[in-house]
């Protein structure tokens, strides 16, 4: 496994692009395979996670090719997957596994899902339980991989009240419901990422979203839509953009612009939080791309103050709490993150790993089952460094501590950094290009 050393940097400056959005990239391949005909995808994230989804679709018979800097997917329409005894290895990709479970559940397929050690520990019951209601037969423990699913060619239309707000749960049910003869409905406590709904609508599906009287959200999809073959441009990933943005905010004398970033309202909770903390962030050149709002994001060095991030914002920034915690170390006062229990079920227990790592740096942290608090040292506070962090194969833990190492007096060495490629290929090169001092060890 590789290790990277992060060293104190004078300043960060410049314009950069970050990889295509991970969530949208997965969905472009999966929904593209259900379109009627060939589509082209520009700026697909070529990470290990997304390639695992592409490889799984190829095993299911989808023709997917790379053409120079673009990708082509030959869709075969709704309900046209068939076959048995497929074995789908999704590596470390929770998104790929959970969304493809929905695709398989709504198809005349039986397939066994497997993954790496990390993915095999992640909970799947939240997906398999609602999929059973569509008529899919689930073998195995149903909560951990490997899991075998025998799909239903014509799945039952269901109305599912989800106990949690999860884009993966919602998307899996919607993908199964595409080949249903009726309406598929999901009700979730708060609105989670809506990339699946936006892309299905862009391709021509009849899908509606509205808020109920109790403030929960109802999403309804008509089955058997004819999905058009439309080309896609993938915007830059706001989660990936968060690393250079936060690095610029906490590194003195810095100004960085990240181009063409997805600023979907349900993805920018981190940026709202940083602005509340006093960060100098500007959104320019706003425009729409394939039903998604995008913009260029500029961030400058800023003096931050602690804040309380409400539970209601968690769904819009669940992947960004580790990097927010790094920003919080440079804030005056405490930053309290509420309603974040979901972090305990990611690639690692991110609450535990963030708190343990920060404590090694002399940062006071507090945690409960569903909250995390970081007591900052202030913009001028000194963080000594000179520690090693084991990422435990969690790409966001690795990148977050590498960003913090840019402002510590001594280096931070992060072990097991290979999985950074699962979401942000060329992370080190991109960061060094704006002035960071990251070195492969």
Extents of the domains making up the chain:
3-20+235-440, 22-233
List, for residues 359-398, the tens digit of each pLDDT value.
Answer: 999 999 999 999 999 999 999 999 999 999 999 989 999 9
pLDDT at 139: 86
Distance CA 244, CA 242 (A): 6
pLDDT at 262: 98
List, for residues 282-341, the tens digit of each pLDDT value.
Answer: 999 999 999 999 999 999 999 999 999 999 999 899 999 999 999 999 999 999 999 999
Query: What is the distance between the terminal CA atoms of the chain, rounded to a whole angstrom?
Result: 10
Closest to 298 (Cα-Cα) out of 269, 358, 258: 258
Distance CA 82, CA 265 (A): 37
pLDDT at 355: 98
Q: What token pair was written down for 357?
A: 């790592």
Closest to 312 (Cα-Cα) out of 340, 287, 289, 335: 340
- For residue 146, whether the previous peptide bond is cis, meaning omega lies within 30 degrees of 0, is yes
So which residues are the catalytic ones? 319
Q: What token pair was written down for 25?
A: 């990239």
pLDDT at 56: 98
CA dihedral 128, 51, 291, 240 (to 10 degrees): 100
Q: Domain 22-233 adopts which CATH fold?
A: UDP-n-acetylglucosamine1-carboxyvinyl-transferase; Chain (3.65.10)
Distance CA 159, CA 185 (A): 4
**What's the average model confidence in pLDDT over 78-101?**
95
Q: pLDDT class for 347, splitting at 50, 70, 90?
A: confident
For residue 248, what are the CA distances in angstroms to 117, 188, 300? 34, 36, 6
List, for residues 107-138, the tens digit of each pLDDT value.
Answer: 999 999 999 988 998 899 999 999 999 999 99
**What's the average model confidence in pLDDT over 149-173?**
95
Q: Domain 3-20+235-440 adopts which CATH fold?
A: UDP-n-acetylglucosamine1-carboxyvinyl-transferase; Chain (3.65.10)
Beta-strand relationship, 159-161 and 183-188: parallel
Q: Are 391 and 419 in contact (CB under 8 A)?
A: yes
Closest to 17 (Cα-Cα) out of 437, 377, 434: 434
Write out the chain in H/E/C secondary structure.
CCEEEEECCCCCEEEECCCECHHHHHHHHHHHCCCEEEEEEECCCCCHHHHHHHHHHHHCCCEEEEECCEEEEEEECCCCCEEEEEEEECCCCHHHHHHHHHHHHCCEEEEEEECCCCHHHCCCHHHHHHHHCCCCEEECCCCCCCEEEECCCCCCCCEEECCCCCHHHHHHHHHHHCCCCCEEEEEECCCCCCHHHHHHHHHCCCEEEEECCCCCEEEEEECCCCCCCCCEECCECHHHHHHHHHHHHHCCCCEEEEEEEECCCCCCHHHHHHHHCCCEEEEEEEEEECCEEEEEEEEECCCEECCEECHHHHHHCHHHHHHHHHHHCCEECEEEEECCHHHHHCCCCHHHHHHHHHHHCCCEEEEECCEEEEECCCCCCCCCCCEEEECCCCHHHHHHHHHHCCCCCCCEEEECCHHHHHCCCCHHHHHHHCCCEEEEC
List, for residues 385-433, the tens digit of each pLDDT value.
Answer: 999 999 998 999 999 999 999 999 999 999 999 999 888 999 999 999 9
List, for residues 251-293, the tens digit of each pLDDT value.
Answer: 999 999 999 999 999 999 999 999 999 999 999 999 999 999 9
- Say yes or no: do domains 3-20+235-440 and 22-233 share a fold: yes
């Amino acid at each position: 496994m590789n290790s990277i050393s992060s060293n104190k940097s004078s300043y960060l400056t410049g314009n950069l692009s970050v990889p295509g959005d991970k969530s949208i990239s997965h969905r472009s391949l999966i929904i593209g395979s259900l379109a009627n005909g060939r589509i082209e995808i520009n700026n697909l994230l070529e990470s290990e996670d997304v390639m695992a989804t592409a490889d799984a679709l190829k095993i299911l018979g989808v023709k997917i090719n790379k053409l120079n800097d673009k990708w082509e997917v030959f869709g075969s329409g709704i309900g046209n997957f068939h076959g048995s005894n497929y074995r789908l290895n999704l590596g470390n990709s929770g998104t790929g596994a959970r969304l493809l479970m929905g695709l398989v559940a709504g198809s005349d397929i039986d397939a066994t899902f497997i993954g790496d050690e990390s993915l095999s520990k992640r909970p799947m019951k939240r997906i398999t339980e609602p999929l059973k209601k569509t008529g899919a037969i689930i073998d195995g423990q149903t909560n951990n991989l490997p899991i075998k699913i025998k799909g239903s060619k014509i799945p039952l239309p269901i109305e599912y009240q989800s106990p949690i707000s999860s884009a993966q749960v919602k998307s899996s049910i919607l993908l199964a419901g595409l080949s249903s003869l009726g309406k598929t409905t999901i009700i979730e406590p708060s609105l989670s990422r809506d990339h699946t709904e936006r892309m299905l609508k862009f391709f021509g599906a009849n899908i509606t979203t509205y808020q109920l009287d109790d403030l929960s959200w109802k999403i309804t999809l008509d089955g058997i839509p004819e999905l058009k073959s439309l080309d896609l441009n993938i915007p830059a990933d706001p989660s990936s953009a968060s690393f250079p943005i936060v690095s610029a905010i906490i590194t003195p004398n810095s100004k960085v612009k990240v181009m063409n970033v997805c600023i979907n309202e349900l993805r920018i909770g981190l940026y709202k939080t940083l602005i509340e903390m006093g960060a100098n962030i500007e959104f320019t050149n706003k425009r729409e791309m394939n039903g998604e709002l995008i913009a260029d994001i500029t961030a400058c060095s800023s003096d931050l103050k602690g804040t309380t991030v409400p539970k209601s914002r968690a769904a819009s920034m669940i992947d960004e709490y580790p990097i927010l915690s790094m920003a919080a170390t440079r804030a005056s006062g405490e930053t309290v993150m509420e309603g974040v229990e979901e972090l305990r079920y990611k690639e690692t227990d991110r609450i535990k790993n963030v708190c343990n790592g920060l404590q090694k740096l002399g940062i006071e942290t507090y945690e409960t089952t569903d909250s995390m608090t970081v007591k900052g040292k202030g913009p001028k506070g000194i963080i000594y460094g000179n520690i090693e962090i084991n990422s435990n194969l969690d790409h966001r833990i690795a990148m977050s501590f590498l960003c913090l190492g840019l402002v510590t007096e001594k280096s931070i060495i992060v072990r097991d950094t290979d999985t950074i490629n699962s979401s942000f290929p060329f992370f080190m090169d991109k960061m060094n290009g704006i002035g960071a001092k990251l070195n492969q060890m």
